[in-house]
């Protein structure tokens, strides 16, 4: 059997660990042949496929990014996309695909699976918003990076007695903001799941200044005020219909300065959350996902996604995993509000 491997959507730490696990077990235990698809779905549209073997994946476990490249390509937004995908697979005698991606990449995989293409999904995203799995790899690393940034910003905020707004990633879900905000001792955490009242935010900031404390506000890029819409700098959309987010942090800092008469600055962590070496947990989870994904291919259990449930790796139908985003449960956010009052 020949298996193709692709990584789609935004890069994140741990992608190479999955590729490594899939290829090593597939070659050593099942005697499969492998090819890597360059730049996600774009590689299948452009017939850009490269050989993969044990030597290709040697030494990549701690590397960030992906040796195969990635893109936000939606094959169904391109002329004759389905036919071109089929033609590339047939030209290289690929029997099955291991598709490593987040909501958009796996959403396209779900539709391709319905069209009869043999594939198994692996959930990756720093946002941790893929349903059906407790955690996606990449999330733990992103939270660690954001937490370290917040720790560092505390000291500079205190030195100048100013409010600092930290904008982290999270389009639909506030998992990074919530985890990093709590771990970093933030005073206000704003997430997409709960529209915020700017007056309440400013009151909390004022209270912190009154006790001679420089406040830290952590906001997910997809968070929005109750009165108004999501704030973005760039109105252009990608092939999955998503705006390129960023802007809420800058808007918040301006509002806080105007309403509290205190200096407020913004730090946008942006892509730094996605780069660099994966944490030990993400290496562990990505490796387990890869091992179980190639098992599913061997057993012919296509149209599924591997997932973490407690400490076990299970398989869930792709259609179920991509039906909706996994968002922060209200009870978790309520715990934070109760703790900080």
Task: Cite the active site residues.
Answer: 127
CB 149 within 8 A of CB 290: no
Q: Is 265 marked as binding a ligand?
A: yes
- CB atoms under 10 Å from CB of 212, counted, come to 8
Q: Is 273 marked as binding a ligand?
A: yes
User: Phi/psi at 97 (nearest 5 deg)?
Assistant: -120, 145
CB 234 within 8 A of CB 243: yes
Q: How many angstroms separate the CA atoms of 21 and 54, rounded?
A: 10
Q: Is 67 marked as binding a ligand?
A: no
Q: Is 221 marked as binding a ligand?
A: yes
- Residue closest to 11 by CA, chosen among 270, 266, 243, 238: 270
Q: How many angstroms separate the CA atoms of 237 and 234, rounded?
A: 8
Q: Is 1 marked as binding a ligand?
A: no
Q: Is 169 marked as binding a ligand?
A: yes
Q: Is 83 marked as binding a ligand?
A: no
Q: Is 313 marked as binding a ligand?
A: no
Q: Is 171 marked as binding a ligand?
A: yes
CA of residue 82 relative to chain centroid, distance: 26
User: Phi/psi at 49 (nearest 5 deg)?
Assistant: -130, 140
Q: Is 121 marked as binding a ligand?
A: no
Annotated binding site for Mg(2+): 103
Q: Which residues are annotated as a binding site for substrate?
A: 125-127, 162, 169-171, 221, 265, 271-274
Annotated binding site for diphosphate: 10
Query: Binding site membership: which residues?
Result: 10, 103, 125-127, 162, 169-171, 221, 265, 271-274
């Amino acid at each position: 059997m020949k298996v193709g491997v692709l990584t789609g959507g935004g890069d994140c730490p741990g992608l190479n660990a999955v590729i490594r696990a899939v290829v090593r077990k597939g070659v050593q235990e099942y005697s499969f042949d492998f090819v890597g698809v360059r730049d996600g779905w774009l590689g299948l549209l452009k017939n850009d496929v490269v050989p993969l073997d044990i030597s290709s994946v040697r030494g990549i476990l701690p590397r960030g990014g992906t040796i195969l490249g990635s893109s936000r390509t939606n094959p169904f937004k391109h002329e004759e996309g389905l036919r071109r995908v089929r033609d590339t697979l047939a030209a290289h005698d690929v029997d099955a695909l291991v598709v490593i991606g987040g909501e958009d990449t796996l959403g396209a995989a779900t539709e391709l699976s319905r069209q009869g293409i043999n594939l198994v999904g692996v959930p990756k995203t720093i946002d941790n918003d893929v349903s059906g799995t407790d955690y996606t790899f990449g999330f733990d690393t992103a939270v660690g990076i954001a937490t370290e940034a917040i720790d560092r910003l505390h000291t500079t905020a205190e030195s100048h007695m100013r409010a600092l707004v930290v904008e982290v990633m999270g389009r639909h879900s506030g998992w990074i903001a919530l985890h990093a905000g709590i771990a970093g001792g933030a005073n206000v955490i704003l997430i997409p799941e709960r529209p915020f009242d700017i007056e309440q935010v400013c009151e909390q900031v004022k209270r912190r200044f009154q006790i001679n404390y420089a406040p830290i506000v952590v906001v997910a890029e997809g968070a929005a005020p109750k009165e108004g819409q999501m704030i973005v700098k760039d109105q252009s959309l990608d092939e999955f219909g998503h705006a390129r987010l960023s802007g809420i942090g800058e808007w918040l800092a301006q509002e806080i300065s105007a309403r509290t008469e205190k200096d407020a600055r913004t730090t946008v962590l942006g892509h730094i959350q996605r780069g660099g070496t994966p944490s030990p947990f993400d290496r562990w989870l990505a490796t387990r996902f890869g091992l179980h994904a190639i098992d599913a291919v061997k057993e012919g259990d296509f149209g599924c996604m591997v997932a973490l449930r407690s400490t076990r790796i299970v398989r869930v139908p792709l259609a179920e995993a991509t039906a909706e985003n996994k968002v922060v449960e209200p009870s978790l956010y309520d715990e934070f509000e109760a703790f900080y009052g």
